Amino acid sequence: MRVLITGHLGYIGVEMTSYLADLGHDIVGLDIDLYGECDFLAPPDPVPALDVDLRDVTVADLLGFDAVVHLAALSNDPLADLNPLLTYAINRDASIRLAEMAKAAGVGRFLFASSCSLYGRGGDTELHEGAAFNPVTPYGESKVDVEHALSALADDSFSPVYLRNATAYGVSRRLRADVLVNNLVGHAMTSGMVAMQTDGSPWRPLVHILDIAQAFAQVLVAPRDAVHNQAFNVGRVGENYRVRDVANVVAAIVPGASVSCAAGATPDIRNYRVDFGKIHRAMPAYRPQWTVRQGIEQLCAAYARGGLTSEVFAGPRYFRLRTVKQLIDRGDVDLELRQVARR
């Protein structure tokens, strides 16, 4: 299958690209590579790529593809807060436009990397895919809007699927230290403190990036009737945790580490548990391999192997908002995150 992966040089994208290529798919990427200075342990695998900003994709760019895997987005809530209007322009408007171009180009299947964050203030009950949306950030709101727009495009020739990823964790060659598990392990390894940014009470569904890649791989080849115009929560049954419980597991694994609340830590209105039953019923071959404990052990070993220091951890390299601010300050990109050299 010939597959375009947008965001193929991001945290999830670099590993999904390799995963799908190893399965025999013909992969082409699309990414302006904002995080090209953020390699961890090794560089991404090289693949052919379109030299175009997501916002500028044309029908001609998408001719000949069997499927689009759409990962590209401003990747987290703090980055979205940098400029909420830009979040809507990229995460919502450009995503909808990409789907329209893909449909016009004859692309049959469109896999959208949605997010469990669209459940937002969800409470303590495990939420299935029919639960009400309750997003509390521009990032979550953009996911809701794109799902609605893609559903309106769905027809006999264009089959969108919405994969609502749980909060991702795990080692990547484009590491992010600003996601929950990776961040807690980084603090523990570099300071001896497992520093929670909240009071530790919120629930989070968690999933390893390789299990996300496996889910996308299954959806790519699933019978159309099993996935067409449907949403799937992506994760492993049993992998919902309170933040404080994750912190305690980290402290138990990292020698000498203890749990603390970061200065100014407050309750977090983002609080949701997720039911992962549907994806397992629809695709019995989907068998996620990772638990949070295993992921923490993997991160500890990788951080040690990579020589992660407190100075590097406190710097911009593995934090998306800090990286983007650095690029803007250097004049590499403008305030709309367009590369200056492309003008």
Residue 258 is part of which domain span? 2-265+273-342
Res 77: pLDDT: 63
Give the C-alpha separation, 158 to 145, whole Å. Answer: 18
272, 127 Cβ separation under 8 angstroms: yes
Please give the DSSP secondary-structure letter assigned to residue 42: B
Q: Which residues of the chain have pLDDT under 50?
A: 342-343
CATH at residue 160: 3.40.50.720
What is residue 343's predicted lDDT score, i.e. its pLDDT?
39
Instruction: Write the CB contacts of 9 (distance below 8 Å, at least 6 apart in sequence).
Output: 29, 31, 33, 35, 36, 44, 174
| Euclidean distance between CA atoms 174 and 148, whole angstroms | 30
User: Helix, strand, coil: what percent of the chain each, to 5?
Assistant: 40, 20, 35
Q: Count of domains in the chain?
A: 1
Total number of residues shown for the chain: 343
In this predicted model, what pLDDT tens digit does every residue of 160-180 receive, in sequence order? Answer: 999 999 999 999 999 999 999
Spatial contact of 28 and 50, defined as CB atoms under 8 Å apart = yes
pLDDT at 76: 66
Question: Which pLDDT score is estimated for 261?
Answer: 82
8 A C-beta contact, residue 195 and residue 257: no
- Output the pTM of the full model: 0.96
* φ, ψ for residue 238, nearest 5 deg: 95, -5
pLDDT score for 167:
96
Q: Identify the pLDDT of residue 195.
A: 86
The encoded tokens of residue 268 equal: 């977090």
Beta-carbon contacts of residue 85 (< 8 Å; ≥ 6 apart)? none
H helix intervals, the chain? 13-22, 59-62, 77-82, 84-87, 95-104, 138-153, 180-191, 209-221, 224-227, 243-253, 277-282, 292-305, 310-314, 320-330
Question: Can you give the pLDDT at residue 225?
Answer: 96
Between strands 109-115 and 121-127, the pairing is: unpaired
Q: Cβ(130)–Cβ(199) under 8 Å?
A: no
Strands 271-274 vs 203-208: parallel, antiparallel or unpaired: unpaired
Which residue do the tokens 């020739």 mark? 157
